[in-house]
């Protein structure tokens, strides 16, 4: 990326059709943003290894990107009993202005065409895809805590970064911080509907709803599930 002061930086067009100039990035910050967008290695240590930098230097760059709204950090204690939580960084939709991927637009157009001309085929393919993914993550309907932890590891292998929390009123909260399908879902909203419908079939004992959606502009996708009331004798 050039440091030419005359180079036009990415701009965000607002609802009143005005433009807001986005911060200029240094070459290293641009490399870091590209690596975050296209790699599953998203903590400071692994990024430092890839960029041949110190952890401290990478964290300084990440702080700049986070302040600009281009990345978001999420603390997780997966696999850790004590010590500081591991911070995992993911890109936000705003990062697409710096690291565009035209191939996703082409694939999105193809997906929309298939959905319009062969809606049944598209829906069947999406259901089969999500069933295959969830079958790897959730081996049974009555999932235990240890199986849930194993599911998080399986999710990482397929390109997702998940966290599991206990919410209010007995809700279980699953947040997908790096959603592998968010780019497609932005082009084809029915993807999210099919995903939720399939998830409900894998969690038949839970009332499951969507709390947030990355394709809709949120920082993560969120699913909330509460154990259904069981009648006495059931």
Q: Which residue has the tokens 């399939």?
A: 198
Domain boundaries, the chain: 11-97, 122-227
**Tens-digit pLDDT profile for residues 194-224:** 999 998 888 787 888 999 988 887 878 898 8
pLDDT, position 56:
92
Distance CA 159, CA 164 (A): 16
Give the whole-angstrom CA distance, residue 7 versus residue 89.
28
- Is the distance from CB of 221 to CB of 90 less than 8 angstroms? no
How would residue 2 be classed by pLDDT, with cut points 50, 70 and 90? very low
- pLDDT for residue 9 is more than 50: yes
Instruction: Give the model's pLDDT for residue 35.
Output: 87
Alpha carbon 142 to chain centroid, angstroms: 25
> What would the mean pLDDT of 92-116 be, rounded to a whole number?
79
Q: Are 22 and 97 in contact (CB under 8 A)?
A: yes
Tens of pLDDT, residues 148-158? 666 666 666 66
| DSSP letter assigned to residue 43 | B
Compute the distance between CA of residue 98 and CA of residue 63 in angstroms, rounded to an integer.
17
CATH topology of domain 11-97: Arc Repressor Mutant, subunit A (1.10.10)
- Using CA atoms, how far apart are residues 232 and 116, in angstroms rounded to an integer? 47
Average pLDDT of 180-185? 79
CA distance 156 to 37: 15
């Amino acid at each position: 990326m050039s440091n030419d002061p005359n180079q036009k930086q990415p701009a965000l067009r607002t609802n009143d059709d005005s433009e807001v100039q986005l911060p200029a990035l240094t070459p290293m910050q641009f490399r870091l943003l590209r690596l975050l967008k296209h790699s599953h290695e998203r903590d400071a240590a692994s990024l430092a290894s890839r960029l041949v930098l110190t952890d401290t230097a990478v964290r300084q760059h990440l702080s700049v990107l986070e302040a600009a709204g281009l990345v978001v950090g999420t603390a997780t204690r997966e696999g850790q009993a004590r010590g500081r939580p591991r911070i995992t960084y993911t890109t936000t939709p705003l990062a697409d202005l710096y690291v565009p991927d035209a191939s996703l637009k082409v694939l999105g157009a193809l997906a929309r065409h298939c959905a319009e001309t062969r809606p049944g085929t598209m829906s069947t393919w999406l259901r089969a895809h999500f069933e295959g993914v969830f079958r790897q993550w959730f081996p049974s309907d009555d999932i235990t805590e240890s199986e849930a932890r194993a599911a998080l590891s399986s999710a990482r292998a397929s390109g997702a970064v998940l966290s599991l929390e206990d919410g209010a009123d007995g809700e279980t909260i699953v947040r997908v911080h790096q959603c592998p399908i968010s780019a497609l879902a932005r082009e084809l909203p029915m993807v999210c509907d099919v995903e939720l419908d399939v998830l409900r079939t894998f969690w038949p004992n839970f009332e499951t709803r969507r709390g947030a959606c990355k394709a809709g502009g949120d920082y993560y996708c969120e699913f909330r599930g509460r154990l259904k009331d069981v009648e006495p004798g059931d």
